[in-house]
């Protein structure tokens, strides 16, 4: 019987040290199982170090290693999309190169997909040990918020590390939006996902490319991509303000009728004007965010631009 082929997509940004370590680890784990064939698809997301060179070296040594190299940094989301597009396997995995996604889980993920009626086996960290406290705190808040205001449920602690069947990958590829938020996309397409839990692993070498501000912007993008709730803020606050105004109008009318009309209330006027001005600007800002995302989508720009692939290397030889 022919073995299944698993494609493993690995986005890399300035990971020259990690690539050989990852490759060795992966080979060890896959050799131990022998039940599947695999191809590694490294995606060089515009690295400025020798990441591309180490991918070339591996591709020369092992023809199961393929790579795609972008013309500049397009972000991990774009890298994942490019990798999924060029994956040929019956099953496709997405994995970080820093070994924070334990490769030893992959064989059992594959077995689960084979045996049970799932289309995806995902992974979920049960703790965030080794991560800055403040980052964990905001991550928790983010999941609470997005799950409250979006119909699309996103599992707290779920990683991008997952193994999917071909039909699920094809569904994900149909989502051609420019503003990609994979955590949302993977749940939006449906299909049954089983989560495997594991304890957080720290990065082996190199450093994280996420700044606090970067993560903050990423979470706002996620919310804009999968919820329209913020757009309703203006209406909700507007309606409440209107009700308050109505009550105040009645109150002042009665007070004036009974006690006459002493001129006062300058302070309350200023407060009201500032508060309303603030809310209006906030609502405009939210509206602007959605409009700018719409603007970018309508341009239909490509999600990434390729500069080189392993094909170029193999054609030269």
Check binding of 67 to ligand UDP (CB under 6 A). no
Does residue 15 bind ligand UDP (CB under 6 A)? Answer: yes
Residues sharing a CB contact under 8 Å with residue 25, sequence separation 6 or more, in sequence order: 99, 103
List binders of ligand UDP among 207-246 (CB under 6 A).
208-210
Six-digit token string for 220:
């706002």
11 is a site residue for ligand UDP (CB under 6 A):
yes
Which of 73, 85, 147, 204 contacts ligand UDP by CB under 6 A? Answer: 73
Q: How far is CA 151 from CA 158, 200, 203, in A?
A: 17, 28, 33
Of 6, 8, 9, 12, the one binding ligand UDP by CB under 6 A: 12
Instruction: Kindly list the distances between the CA atom of residue 35 and the CA atoms of 7, 95, 116, 298, in Å, as whole numbers in the listed order.
Output: 14, 20, 17, 45
Candidates 29, 50, 100, 200; binder of ligand UDP (CB under 6 A) is: 100
Nearer to Mg ion, 100 or 136 (CB): 100
When asked if residue 310 is in the footprint of ligand UDP (CB under 6 A), the reply is no
Stretch that binds ligand UDP, among 95-103, 148-156, 237-245, 248-256 (CB under 6 A): 95-103
Token pair of 252 as six digits: 């002042």
Residues of the shown chain interacting with Mg ion in the complex, contacts defined by CB under 5 A: 96, 98, 100
Residue 101 binding ligand UDP, by CB under 6 A: no
Among 8, 68, 79, 99, binds ligand UDP (CB under 6 A): 79
Out of 45, 122, 142, 143, the only residue in the binding site for ligand UDP (CB under 6 A) is: 45
CB closer to Mg ion out of 22 and 142: 22
Q: Among 66, 76, 125, 162, which residue sits at the site for ligand UDP (rule: CB under 6 A)?
A: 76
Least Å from the CB of residue 127 to ligand UDP: 15
Closest CB 281 distance from ligand UDP, rounded Å: 32
Which residue ranges make up the site for ligand UDP (CB under 6 A)? Answer: 11-13, 15, 45, 73, 75-76, 79, 96-98, 100, 203, 208-210
């Amino acid at each position: 019987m022919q073995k299944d082929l698993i494609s493993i997509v690995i986005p890399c940004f300035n990971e020259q040290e990690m690539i050989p370590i990852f490759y060795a680890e992966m080979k060890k784990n896959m050799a131990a199982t022998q039940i599947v064939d695999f191809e590694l698809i490294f995606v060089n997301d515009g690295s400025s170090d020798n990441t591309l060179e180490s991918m070339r070296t591996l591709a020369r040594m092992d023809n199961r290693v393929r790579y795609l190299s972008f013309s500049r940094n397009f972000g991990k989301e774009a890298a994942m999309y490019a990798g999924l597009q060029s994956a040929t396997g019956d099953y496709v995995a997405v994995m970080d190169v820093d070994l924070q996604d334990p490769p030893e889980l992959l064989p059992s993920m594959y077995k689960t997909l084979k045996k049970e009626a799932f289309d995806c086996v995902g992974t979920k960290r049960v703790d965030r040990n080794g991560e800055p406290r403040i980052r964990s705190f905001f991550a928790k808040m983010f999941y609470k918020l997005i799950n409250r205001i979006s119909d699309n449920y996103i599992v707290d602690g779920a990683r991008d590390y997952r193994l999917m069947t071909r039909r699920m990958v094809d569904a994900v590829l149909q989502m051609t939006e420019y503003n990609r938020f994979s955590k949302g996309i993977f749940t939006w397409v449906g299909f049954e996902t089983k989560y495997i839990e594991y304890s957080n692993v720290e990065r082996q070498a190199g450093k994280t490319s996420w700044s606090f501000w970067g993560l903050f912007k990423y979470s706002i993008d996620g919310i804009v991509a999968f919820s329209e709730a913020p757009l309703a803020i203006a209406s909700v606050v507007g309606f409440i303000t209107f009700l308050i105004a109505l009550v105040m109008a009645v109150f002042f009318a009665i007070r004036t009728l009974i006690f006459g009309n002493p001129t006062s209330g300058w302070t309350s006027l200023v407060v009201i004007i500032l508060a309303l001005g603030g809310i209006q600007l906030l609502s405009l800002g939210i509206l602007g965010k959605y409009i700018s995302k719409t603007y970018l989508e309508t341009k239909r720009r490509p999600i990434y631009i390729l500069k080189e692939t392993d094909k170029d290397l193999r054609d030269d030889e």
